[in-house]
Amino acid sequence: MKHPGFEYTLNYPLFKAIFERRSRRISKGIKAVRAGSLTYTSIQKPQPLELLEEAVLILVAMGFTGRTTPDRPFQDEQNKNIMATPNLHMIGRSAGSPDNAQGTYFFLINDSGTYFLRRPQDQEPIDIYNTEPEKLIEFAEACKQKLLDKRLDMPRQMPYYIGSNRFVSNVEGSTILMPIVDVTWQYINGLMFLLTQPDGQRPAFTDEMKFNRYAGIKRWVKSGYLNKDMKIPLGMLEAMRTQLEAPLVLQNLMLVLQAMGLGGWIHASFPGSVLTGVPKTNFKVAFQFDYQKPSFKLNNILNWLTYSHGVRPNPIGLEGVFQGLCPPYVKTMSDAVDRVIAEKYGKRGVYSDKDYFEEIFKNEGLAEDYIKQVPHYPREVIEVTKDVCNYIYDTYKRFPAHTDAIHVPGVWLQAHHVDLDYYDHLFHDAYTEVNAMHQEAWHGEK
């Protein structure tokens, strides 16, 4: 069944969305905007997003957008194998992700409750142009894991809300999408990818929190497998760029808000320590995540004095919701590395899925040839990675040590219905025709 608002959104021009994208912070239901002579009093009632409106946002945030192609060379100029299997996933998402790690998840907050969003297992790519709205709603609902029966909120003051945000953020009628990133899988995968360089170009990882000593790889430097003159401090790796996916998804969501005629903006969220419940905090917390809590060691005295990452409690997962790839969820970091290898090359691994590649390659037999021929990680790469990961955990009793396992970007996106009367009252051209026609197109109101 056709839905006029949804159809209009699907055909909204990209460049129009880019150039008309604006933060429109005033939503229906905000009773007063106190601003001196610009003060505005509203008679509008809060209007929550309907299921289809929310489903479109969830699809952009979490959905499978189609198949990706294995279009990397895997031989050099001398026809020697080079690494071409870095991906942790092959199905695409709405935003780029380092090695397609897709470590970004979302909390969704609305009037009906607080949810964790995850993609359903074995979900096929969704063709949004040829999928009935009811099916999109089914997909969105399947992504939701309800955590609270109410809107997650905090006192309207620092550190929970900053400045004027406390009057317009996370208000009745709004839908909040808050990203959270599992760094652990891509941290391991990224280490392995760095180690697949040619002879003489494989880096030697050092630990700047331990006076730049080798990070468990001394024997590999001594053997010449790693280049002693190409040192990379572990802290320089940060989160292996895994954190870059979240803001890209948020930007896509902003463009979709414009195409739908909704208001909203990206702004500061609850701090990571508040969201995950860092131990011994004096503030209210949203959830109590599992934490790795490094114990005091005399040889870590400098880390303790500066309170560097190596001695901070490390958020690693939320019971019954999701878990990072590190102890205690795996026995050792060697087991964690083996999990990554199995995810890529095991019986049901990313690079073992013949059915997937048969959908991608045109000619019969190419899928099987690709699976047989594409190089895997050499044994030495896996062993070095295990040595580095075990060094990190054995030294700091947390993994990673130079960044957190669970990264909280500290921003969220709010979606809401715009109070057009406010913008009409004060401004010239503060919204576009799609904002003006939203109620008619999406809700049948003249």
| H, E, C per residue of 374-391 | CCCCCHHHHHHHHHHHHH
Mean pLDDT of 240-250: 97
Mean pLDDT of 26-33: 95
Mean pLDDT of 401-425: 97
Quote the pLDDT of residue 336. Answer: 98
- Name the pLDDT band for 303 (thresholds 50, 70, 90): low
Q: Which residue has the tokens 């008679």?
A: 43
Torsion of CA 219, 225, 231, 237, to 10 degrees: -100
Quote the pLDDT of residue 85. Answer: 94
Reply yes or no on whether the pLDDT at 307 is more than 80.
no
Reply yes or no on whether the pLDDT at 311 is more than 90.
no
The residue length of the chain stands at 446
Reply yes or no on whether the pLDDT at 310 is more than 80.
no
Amino acid at 213: R
Mean pLDDT of 417-433: 97
Q: How far apart are CA 442 and CA 107, in angstroms?
A: 25
On the 0-12 / 13-18 / 19+ scale of CB atoms within 10 A, 53 is buried
Quote the pLDDT of residue 445. Answer: 87
Q: First-to-last CA distance in the chain?
A: 21
Note if the bond before 46 is cis, omega within 30 degrees. no
For the chain, what are the domain ranges? 4-443
- Name the pLDDT band for 1 (thresholds 50, 70, 90): low
Q: Which residues 6+ apart lie within 8 Å of 44 measured at CB?
A: 28, 29, 30, 419, 421
Determine contact, residues 99/194, Cβ cutoff 8 Å. no
Mean pLDDT of 391-413: 96
Quote the pLDDT of residue 179. Answer: 98
The CATH architecture assigned to 4-443 reads 3-Layer(aba) Sandwich (3.40)
Q: Which residues 6+ apart lie within 8 Å of 41 measured at CB?
A: 31, 32
Reply yes or no on whether the pLDDT at 192 is more than 80.
yes
Quote the pLDDT of residue 281. Answer: 86
Q: How far apart are CA 290 and CA 278, in angstroms?
A: 9
Q: How far apart are CA 392 and CA 4, in angstroms?
A: 55
Average pLDDT, the chain: 94
Residue 414: which H helix or E strand, with range?
strand 411-416
| Secondary structure of residue 231 in the 3-state scheme | strand
Note if the bond before 328 is cis, omega within 30 degrees. yes
Counting residues of the chain whose pLDDT is more than 90, the rounded percentage is 88
Nearest to 328 by CA among 300, 362, 355, 293: 293
User: What pLDDT digit, counting tens, does each position of 94-130 carry?
Assistant: 999 999 999 999 999 999 999 999 988 777 788 999 9
User: What pLDDT digit, counting tens, does each position of 4-15 carry?
Assistant: 999 999 999 999
Q: How far apart are CA 190 and CA 238, in angstroms?
A: 11
Quote the pLDDT of residue 305. Answer: 54
Nearest to 116 by CA among 64, 182, 65: 182
Reply yes or no on whether the pLDDT at 334 is more than 90.
yes
- CA angle, residues 207, 317, 413, in degrees to nearest 5: 100
The tokens of 403 are what? 């960044």
Amino acid at 350: V
Quote the pLDDT of residue 295. Answer: 75
DSSP string, 43-86: -PPP-PPPHHHHHHHHHHHH---EE-------B-TTS-B-----
Counting residues of the chain whose pLDDT is more than 70, the rounded percentage is 97
Nearest to 26 by CA among 6, 10, 11, 47: 47
Amino acid at 409: P
Strand bridging mode 203-207 / 227-233 = parallel
> Residue-wise over 266-304: b if at least 16 C-beta within 10 A, else e?
bbebbbbbbbbbbeeeeeebbbebbbbebeeeeebeebe
